[in-house]
Structure 1
Amino acid sequence: MKLYSSIIVDDDEIDRLTVVSYAKKFPWITISGVFENASTALSFLENNDIDIAFLDIEMPGASGIELRKKALSIPVCVFISSHFESAAETFEIQTLDFIVKPFKFPRFEQTMHRIEEFMNIKIKADLYEQTIGGDAIYVKSGTEKVKIRLHEILYLEALKNYTVIVTESKRHYVLKGLTEFLTEDFFRQFVRIHRSFAVMSAKINKVNTSEIELVNGTNLPIGRSYKNDLQNQL
């Protein structure tokens, strides 16, 4: 089992202890440091490589967002904050997930499964390739090819240098950037709503100030710089 190192940064002691307690339930993660402010965390990061960061947003001194901007080399960042209005902004700085306080273990467990999935795919991404033909995309994994029809795709999600093709039943991983996908005619019905997300227009059920709701109930954030593109598309 591969172990991944993590840090927890939160100025609230109870919240720090909660994250520590929850994280210890997963044997594949180690806690390398627990900090109550961004400055001490940054000092630690100068001499230590970390895989996962759990960050609060509002803290004395520098915020968690400022910390993340100075530590973009950390592969996975999860924000845990009561300031849900900041979620869209955090996804602009390579955030994997945003947990709203107060939260319970099932929500944290959901995030941990997503982190594990991300780490596994990061290792295996080079096994995937995609070819386009007709009204379908064919995703290759090893010796098998999976056919995904255009109308089955809910949205595309950018994760580092590969893209997740999300359908209602599965997530498919392709070693190809989201921007490159969106330049192809096959994906002309998709509109980019965020640095990390592009959705098929027909799958949008509702548009709010800071997020959209898809027909299956999934909510995705709208990036500030993409609001005009979304309005024009609709």
Structure 2
Amino acid sequence: MEKLNSIIVDDNEIDRLTVLSFAKRFPVFNILGSFSDSDEALKTIESDPVDILFLDIDMPGLSGVELRKKVKHIPACIFITSHPEFAVESFELETLDFIVKPLKFDRFEQTARRIEDFFEMRNKASLFESSIGGDVIYIKEGHEQIKIKLHEILYLEALKDYTLIVTPQKRYCVLSSIGLLLKEISFQSFIRVHRSFAVQKQFINKINTHEIILNNNLAIPVGRSFKDNLKFLL
């Protein structure tokens, strides 16, 4: 994958340096600049093409939310903040991920994977379409149709207008939002547990306060507004 031009905006120097140090561990990120306020960041955005924003929200002057509204043409926005109450508002601004501070490397690593998946799917979007039929999903990739058995799908992961379909063997993508996919009759066995995740009931092994554990020991986050969807298992 080509390098992705990225900028970091956070008025807290320690948090800003933490994001910078984590991002430098991933060769895909080309850091154009690290800024303490939105006005300085805008100068770089106006002069260079930017692919990714790593944004704090609560900043003096122009907030991270206000900055995102000004630069919605930038494909990927990652909010990193101490204010979880902004999560709903941020996702209305086409946010790819929302991280609550303090930032840990393993959480940033998950975000880096989502970013790579998103740009890979974005580049291949014209090659993919999905069709639902019987107990399988057919994904069209170029001139080939790939058959995926529904009962083998572990979970679905949303990436803006795309959805990752994850099986034990491989991950696939379709140009469809997770919300539209879950409205299909074939996906009635899936439970929405997070804005970005839906799982199959039979693969749930354990439910914790903030996550569920699937049979393969994979942890999936649980969003506060989706906890009621799991009450039948408690």
Query: Do the structures match in fold with TM over 0.5?
Result: yes
Q: Report the RMSD for the aligned CA atoms in angstroms.
A: 3.5
Aligned partner letter, 1:218: A
Give the structure 2 partner of residue 214 of structure 1.
213
- Residue 161 of structure 1 and its aligned partner are, at CA, apart by 2.1
Aligned counterparts, 1:29-108, within 5 A: 29-41=29-41, 45=45, 49-60=49-60, 63-65=63-65, 67-68=67-68, 71-81=71-81, 83=82, 89=88, 92-93=91-92, 94-96=95-97, 98=99, 100-104=101-105, 108=108
Residues 221/75 of structure 1: CA separation in 2 closer, same or farther (3 Å cut): farther
Equivalent position SS for 2:154: strand
Greater CA deviation, 142-151 or 86-95? 86-95
Runs of 4 or more consecutive aligned structure 1 residues displaced over 6 Å after TM superposition: none
Matched residue type, 1:142: G
**How far off its partner does 1:33 sit?**
3.0
Q: Is the 8 A contact 1:88 1:223 kept in 2?
A: no
| C-alpha distance in 2 between matches for 1:172 and 1:113 | 14
Which residue does 1:4 correspond to in 2? 4
Cα distance in 2, alignment partners of residues 147 and 38 from structure 1 = 46
Give, in whole Å, the separation in 2 of the partners of 1:98 and 1:192. 19
- The answer for unaligned runs of 5 or more in structure 2 is none
Closer, same or farther in 2 for the Cα pair 1:91/1:233, shift >3 Å?
farther
Is the Cα–Cα contact under 8 Å of residues 193 and 230 in structure 2 kept in the other structure?
A: no
Task: Give the whole-Å Cα distance in 1 for the aligned partners of 2:84 and 2:137.
Answer: 35
Provide the residue aligned with 2:23 in structure 1: 23
Count of aligned pairs between the two proteins: 229
TM-score where L is the length of structure 2? 0.75
The structure-2 alpha-carbon separation of the partners of 1:18 and 1:124, relative to structure 1 and needing over 3 Å to count, comes to same
Consecutive unaligned residues of structure 1, counting only runs of 5 or more, are: none
* Alpha-carbon distance in 1 for matches of 2:33, 2:227: 38
Q: Percent identity?
A: 48
Match of 2:196 in 1: 196
